[in-house]
Amino acid sequence: GKNSFIGCNTIIESNVKIGENCVIGSFVLIRNSLIYNNVSIQDGVKIGIKGFGFIPIQGKNIRTPHIGKVILEENVEIGANCTIDRGKIDFTYIGENSMIDNLVHIAHNVYIDGNACIAAQSGISGSVSIGKNLISGGQSGYAGHLNIGDNVIVAAKSGVTKNIKDNSKVAGFPAINIYDW
């Protein structure tokens, strides 16, 4: 798109569309992605990479195909050295106005509704669905296939192993109500 900037040594492969006014840093790899307007992607980010998925069959691990996309809505910021896996069949989605700090991994089929703030060194396992306005402290981890409600706050170094209802504040491992913790 118009007025977008792409840094040096960045690779943009086929099956990618980039909107207007985007800033993409150096040493970035983007494939299988739809990036809307006003997105900022810092140095060293990998987007649209095949996720971790396998089927154990007769003592062997057989890789499952990943043929989906990554969708980054408007005004998303991705910090340095993050990895965002493409969807297995459908897509991995990061909603508008979301801010992802450095060194965050977002696995395949994750859905982040929007306006999220996810601090450094966090990891979100595959097929997690996150509502609007998540605030997630640094080094938080999310088990796969969870539903996280709207307006949730997850304290730093928390391990989220169960679904979280709207308007909750959790901490610890396993993450529980912050006041009980």
Positions annotated as catalytic residues are: 108
Helix (H), strand (E), coil (C) string for the chain: CCCCEECCCCEECCCEEECCCCEECCCCEECCEEECCCCEECCCCEEEECCCCEEEECCEEEECCCCCEEEECCCCEECCCCEEECCCCCEEEECCCCEECCCCEECCCCEEEECCEECCCCEECCCCEEEECCEECCCCEECCCCEECCCCEECCCCEECCCECCCCEEECCCCEECCCC
